Amino acid sequence: MNYCQSSFSGDFVTRSVTVSAGISTTNEKSRTIRTVLVTESPVTIIDLEGRNEIDEILLIEGAEIPDSKQVPLFDNHKRSGTQSIRGSVRNILINRNELMGTLHFSSLASDLWTLVKEQHITDVSAGYQVFKSDSVYIERKKAKVINGQMYRNDGERTLVIRTRWKLKEISLTPIGNERFPF
């Protein structure tokens, strides 16, 4: 299980995946990288009330993606203003149990593009909104069927399955929490 040093702002949560040249597609001329953004791997977060660690699974089929198929690309979830935008993530789509997208680096983000290209920055993190009404909690040693699939909680913490969640942004981050190469 991966631990998430997640930021929490109301119902806004973050989680990361690792980017690796072996799985992603890099285009230096257009300064883009096609990669995995989110998986269904469980990640430890702080619950909505901010009191306890819980394990969370985001069902990819429950992802709400903007009609534009694009979200901002930020530097480490700094979303206080437009100066934090380092580019955008476009062509977002579901591919089996993964959310995929293409990172487009702005010409103003040359430093970050270089750090990613040289593999000094290897992780991205999704910022997303969750909905309590679309969250199924499974206590330890219990199981539930969700959308026709059995989920069993053999972990140490409560497990929450998010059947609907809204992607808000993707960030470059120094340390991720999902260990999945991109």
pLDDT at site 181: 40
Burial class (CB in 10 A: 0-12, 13-18, 19+), 136: middle
Q: Give per-residue burial for 54-63: e unless 16+ CB within 10 Å, then b.
A: bbbbbbbebb
- pLDDT level of residue 60 (50, 70, 90 thresholds): very high
- Average pLDDT on 98-115 reads 95
Residue positions counted in the chain: 182
- pTM for the complete prediction? 0.84
The pLDDT tens digits of the residues spanning 19-47 come to 553 356 889 999 999 999 999 999 988 88
The pLDDT tens digits of the residues spanning 66-85 come to 999 999 999 988 878 888 89
Q: Is the confidence at residue 182, as pLDDT, over 50?
A: no
- Bridge-partner residues for 53, per DSSP? 46
